[in-house]
Structure 1
Amino acid sequence: MVARVRTVAFQGIDVVPIDVQVQIAGGSPNFMLVGLPDKAVGESRERIRAALAALGLALPPRRITVNLSPADLAKEGSHYDLPIALGLMAAIGIIPTDLVESYVALGELALDGALTPVAGVLPAAMHAASHGRGIVCPAACGGEAAWGGFESVDPAGEDDTAAGRRAARCGEVVAAPSLLALINHFKGTQVLAAPQAMLAADDGRYPDLRDVKGQESAKRALEVVAAGAHNLLLTGPPGAGKSMLAARLPGLLPPLEPDEALEVSMVQSMAGQLGEGKLTRRRPFRDPHHSASLVALVGGGMRPRPGEVSLAHHGVLFLDELPEFNPSAIEALRQPLETGRVTVARANAHVTYPARFLLVAAMNPCRCGHLADATRACGRAPRCGADYQGRISGPLYDRIDLAIDVPPVAPADLALPPPAESTADVAARVLAARARQRQRFAELARSNPSLMAGVRPHANGQADGELLTAIATPDADGRALLARAVERLNLSARGYHRVLRVARTLADLDASDSVRRLHIAEALSWRRMQPRAAAAA
């Protein structure tokens, strides 16, 4: 007799079904794991023996074979402990065989039989629900699994209890604190409560723009960036407020849409960073140190994990001191900035993670930081600035929609009272602009479904091809200005389209249905053609 339990393997955020087959046959006592298990999976034998012994159970002195099918797919991680243990208990008659076959199981066993959290429960729960099965997982992951039965998550206006009841109807979630509680649940002597699908608390507090004195042009740039999801580069001397400005951008962004929240949570689940299984509508803000490696930034490793670009999905990736990053690491941003995903290719695996992030970068104009200050610049100016800014390649500059110089704050500005306009005031305008974009995309989806086929843009910065032409074609004066700019400024095709995206966002902020010459002119003013120090040299 062969007992079967279903579990999953992960390739990026994609889920691959795995069939755990357990056979107990005659022969010399042995416990064999086959199916390309890695060391963590192979060590599950000892964890399972200890966990069963803690319950007063022992494996029979016979030949035990556990096959993880498909056998040619490498199995990695500790989440195979629970399905293997369930298969063994089904094979020796402790729990019903037909019952465990209707679940997808994953979890790690402690030596005392407790179930400890594992990564990837949310995508596994979604896979189970799509195939009409329940899921068995550790109790600490129950809240995460409870969201898995939804095509999209819409927690607005619904308390945690109601959300949990609605999730439970979509597929049974068995979240057990220990192996003993799970056995009792399957035998009917104990009923485990259904976990609740919960949202992480959000106090709504962000650093306020009122703390920033002066820098009105930079504040305007932040508003445009937030309204259209465009990339931004801040260049200025030390102490000008570049990092301070970037830290205030998340407060201007609207909350995550339901489908965005689910995508973000899936990435966080794979990285093991979904705290207490609670989903959030707060956009990620990632600010890795400039010593971050290529793998840390874009993902990968021996066991591929999502990098900072994926953890910033639908949020902000802030790279302070941009030229100080490893050149290969920052050049690896080119593909995700264009495609919204990152593919990690290895000899034994190709995995893809979503990476639709908003890039905000900050840098000094040169190594000493005072290139434009004749009294403080080094003796190598302007060559020092050309060399320093030259660490960033032209193709990466070309992918940045808005570039602004952040000058030092004047002493007179520091003595002024706080500005009257707060983060909440700017965020209201951003939210109104985003609402216009959502309405426009929805109308296009109804009137021209082929135009929106296969794309789900949430902001102007994500529009491309025919869709961009449909929403951002300027008026006659705007087209004439843009044509002259392409010729005189030597704009690339990518730069041309990025100017159109920014102009469309400026029109939305003005509540204008058409993109006018004024919007094209302002969008061109934000465009960085080449490093200024290089031009001076």
Structure 2
Amino acid sequence: MISRVISATPYGFSGQIIEVEGDMSKGLPSLQIVGMGNKAIDESRDRVRSAIKNSSLDFPKGKIIINLAPAELPKDGSHFDLPIALSILCISGALNQSDVSNAVFAGELALDGSLRPIRSAIITAEVAKNQKIKSIYVSAQNAEQAALVTGVDVFPVENLKSLFLHLKKEKIIKPIDRSSIKNISRNHKNTPTIDDIYGQEQAKRAIQIAVAGRHNILLSGPPGSGKTMLAKSLKNLLPALSEDEIVEVTKLHSLGEHTIINNPIIDRPFRSPHHTASRASIIGGGSKVQPGEISLAHRGVLFLDELLEYPRTVLESLRQPLEDHEITVSRANGKFNFPANFLLVATMNPCPCGFLGDPEKTCICSQNQILNYQKRLSGPLLDRIDLTVSVSRVPHEKLLNNKMSTKSQQETFLSEIHKAYSIQRDRYKCSYKYNNDIPSSNVDKITSISESAKTFLTNAARKLDLSTRSYFKVIKVSRTIADLEGSTSIEIPHIAESLQYRQINIG
């Protein structure tokens, strides 16, 4: 008799159903696994054998062949241990084929038969849902993550023996209760807020605009001016993830993290890769294609500190995801698309020594050094950044004499940003979410701009020689400024403020 047990494996940002077939014939007792499995799958033979025996179940004596279909798809990971064990129990007669039908199984077996967590349990659950399979069995540690996918019953399994008794209807395992997942509080991990920053009112305002409309921002200034603290304070202004976004973000992190993610990712990501990180780790790729930092920052923030220290190839690779909100990784075995809709927050020094334009410390760089340094940031990439702000150091006497306001600026910013979100939600319905999401072709149709503001913008664009992309970015940023102020139409002051952030003066 041939047994069939359904499992799944990640494939890019989605998953693929894998049918674990088992057959036993006469011959010397052996266990062979075919179907383009890697070393982890090959080693599962010994894990499965020990797990079955140590669960007080009989391992059949005969020549056993396990096939992972479709055979042409490369497979890796230890999550096939559980379906392989169940397939063997079916061909031995311990289980009936009907016991394992209409369900997906995934999990790594320990030698004592207990079930260990795996990567990408949420993708396994999503595959089951797409295939209209009603039940999924995973490790108890993976159950909360898998239960983010609605429409399937997620059964938390402690060990092989308890699952065997459940399938035989001798001891029932109850599906996980999703109500315990929904009300998890956010954790900001003591990141700074706007209230922690002295001075820097223009930079704070730019941060508020960036968050309200999801506009990419570049902070330029000398060391010690507070660029990094400003960038990190942005995290506390971000809205909570929606339920759909939690699923999306958790899927990506279950694929890309080096450690196994057991619980849902409920906070917006704030990724800050070091400038020595490889292109593959930031963009995505590798021999086994995985999402990079730009995809792990999806629905959150990608923070690039000291932007010009990153390799030119990495910086230029940002152009596609900044425009399309996704990244395509091409390999010999196919193309893999990963979402990459992030808010770019970058900081940089204006020159190699960092003190160009600083009133207190003299720059020691030559003109050629400054030009060569600033040339690392290409025009096309700079054109995709909506807001550029020059950040100066706050004088020491102002730090000592600073009087904290009794009213929280953080609370004011959050209130204004929330109102701007509500305005955008009502304006765009389900078409777009933020002002920065509007395609340039639809900007004129959707945004309301007064005639005087149009004339002002046209004259300014001609004088400043703005590119087409920059022209529309000015309108989008102006729309966000108008939303923050509760204005129904874009007026001249909104355009004027937006143009301040297009004055590319990184020195």
TM-score by length of 1: 0.88
Q: Secondary structure at the match of 1:202?
A: coil
Q: Secondary structure at the match of 1:290?
A: coil
- In 1, the alpha carbon distance for the partners of 2:70 and 2:503 equals 52
What does residue 38 of structure 1 align with? 38
1:323 and 2:304 equivalent? no
1:320-374 CA-partner distances (Å, limit 9, x unpaired): 0111112212221111111111111111242221110000000111111111137
What does residue 231 of structure 2 align with? 246
- In 1, the alpha carbon distance for the partners of 2:456 and 2:301 equals 32
What does residue 473 of structure 2 align with? 498
- In 2, the alpha carbon distance for the partners of 1:86 and 1:351 equals 32
1:422-449 CA-partner distances (Å, limit 9, x unpaired): 312211110110111011111xx5xxxx
1:397 and 2:382 equivalent? yes
The alignment yields a C-alpha RMSD, in angstroms, of 1.9
Write the letter of the residue equivalent to 1:472. Answer: T
- 8 A Cα contact 1:371 1:382, kept in partner: no
- In 1, the alpha carbon distance for the partners of 2:391 and 2:129 equals 51
Task: Find the partner of 2:186 among 202, 210, 214.
Answer: 202
Write the letter of the residue equivalent to 1:27. Answer: G
Counterparts of 1:124-135 in structure 2, within 5 Å, are 124-130=124-130, 131-135=132-136
- 8 A Cα contact 1:19 1:70, kept in partner: yes
Write the letter of the residue equivalent to 1:175. Answer: P
Instruction: Judge which range, 40-49 or 505-514, deviates more.
Output: 40-49
What does residue 75 of structure 2 align with? 75
- 8 A Cα contact 1:4 1:19, kept in partner: yes
Write the letter of the residue equivalent to 2:468. Answer: A
- Consecutive aligned runs of 4 or more in structure 1 exceeding 4 Å deviation: 203-206, 272-275
1:417 and 2:417 equivalent? no
Q: CA deviation at 1:228?
A: 0.3
What does residue 27 of structure 2 align with? 27
Equivalent residues, number: 499
Counterparts of 1:100-499 in structure 2, within 5 Å, are 100-130=100-130, 131-149=132-150, 170-197=151-178, 198-199=181-182, 200-203=184-187, 206-272=191-257, 275-280=261-266, 282-373=267-358, 376-415=361-400, 416-419=402-405, 420-442=407-429, 452=431, 457-499=432-474
Instruction: Judge which range, 490-499 or 373-382, deviates more.
Output: 373-382
What does residue 62 of structure 1 align with? 62
- 8 A Cα contact 2:353 2:364, kept in partner: no
- 8 A Cα contact 1:252 1:424, kept in partner: no
Q: CA deviation at 1:62?
A: 2.0
- In 2, the alpha carbon distance for the partners of 1:134 and 1:473 equals 50
- In 2, the alpha carbon distance for the partners of 1:501 and 1:23 equals 62
Q: CA deviation at 1:55?
A: 1.9
Q: CA deviation at 1:413?
A: 2.0
- In 1, the alpha carbon distance for the partners of 2:172 and 2:73 equals 36
- In 1, the alpha carbon distance for the partners of 2:107 and 2:256 equals 15
What does residue 165 of structure 1 align with? none
- 8 A Cα contact 2:357 2:363, kept in partner: no
1:98-117 CA-partner distances (Å, limit 9, x unpaired): 12121111111112211111
TM-score by length of 2: 0.94
Write the letter of the residue equivalent to 2:455. Answer: A
- In 2, the alpha carbon distance for the partners of 1:378 and 1:502 equals 33
- In 2, the alpha carbon distance for the partners of 1:221 and 1:172 equals 46
Q: Secondary structure at the match of 2:142?
A: helix
Instruction: Judge which range, 70-79 or 469-478, deviates more.
Output: 469-478
- In 2, the alpha carbon distance for the partners of 1:18 and 1:227 equals 43
- 8 A Cα contact 1:397 1:528, kept in partner: no
- In 2, the alpha carbon distance for the partners of 1:377 and 1:92 equals 81
Write the letter of the residue equivalent to 1:418. Answer: M
Say if 1:378 and 1:224 are closer, same or farther in 2 by CA, change over 3 A: closer
Say if 1:519 and 1:87 are closer, same or farther in 2 by CA, change over 3 A: same
Instruction: Judge which range, 234-243 or 349-358, deviates more.
Output: 349-358
Say if 1:359 and 1:98 are closer, same or farther in 2 by CA, change over 3 A: same
- 8 A Cα contact 2:141 2:262, kept in partner: yes
Q: CA deviation at 1:32?
A: 2.1
- 8 A Cα contact 2:28 2:63, kept in partner: yes
Q: CA deviation at 1:469?
A: 2.8
- 8 A Cα contact 1:48 1:85, kept in partner: yes
What does residue 527 of structure 1 align with? 502
Write the letter of the residue equivalent to 1:94. Answer: A
1:169-213 CA-partner distances (Å, limit 9, x unpaired): x33222101111111111122222322331443256652211111
- In 2, the alpha carbon distance for the partners of 1:284 and 1:203 equals 12
Q: CA deviation at 1:502?
A: 0.6
- In 1, the alpha carbon distance for the partners of 2:506 and 2:128 equals 55
Say if 1:379 and 1:254 are closer, same or farther in 2 by CA, change over 3 A: closer
- In 2, the alpha carbon distance for the partners of 1:64 and 1:274 equals 31
Write the letter of the residue equivalent to 2:412. Answer: D
Write the letter of the residue equivalent to 1:97. Answer: Q
Write the letter of the residue equivalent to 1:17. Answer: I
- In 2, the alpha carbon distance for the partners of 1:180 and 1:16 equals 27
Say if 1:245 and 1:375 are closer, same or farther in 2 by CA, change over 3 A: closer
What does residue 2 of structure 2 align with? 2
- In 1, the alpha carbon distance for the partners of 2:91 and 2:161 equals 17
Write the letter of the residue equivalent to 1:423. Answer: Q
Gaps of 5+ in 1: 150-169, 446-451
Q: CA deviation at 1:58?
A: 4.8
What does residue 160 of structure 1 align with? none
1:16 and 2:16 equivalent? yes
Q: CA deviation at 1:403?
A: 0.3
- In 1, the alpha carbon distance for the partners of 2:187 and 2:378 equals 40
Write the letter of the residue equivalent to 2:413. Answer: V
- In 1, the alpha carbon distance for the partners of 2:89 and 2:416 equals 59
Instruction: Judge which range, 235-244 or 470-479, deviates more.
Output: 470-479
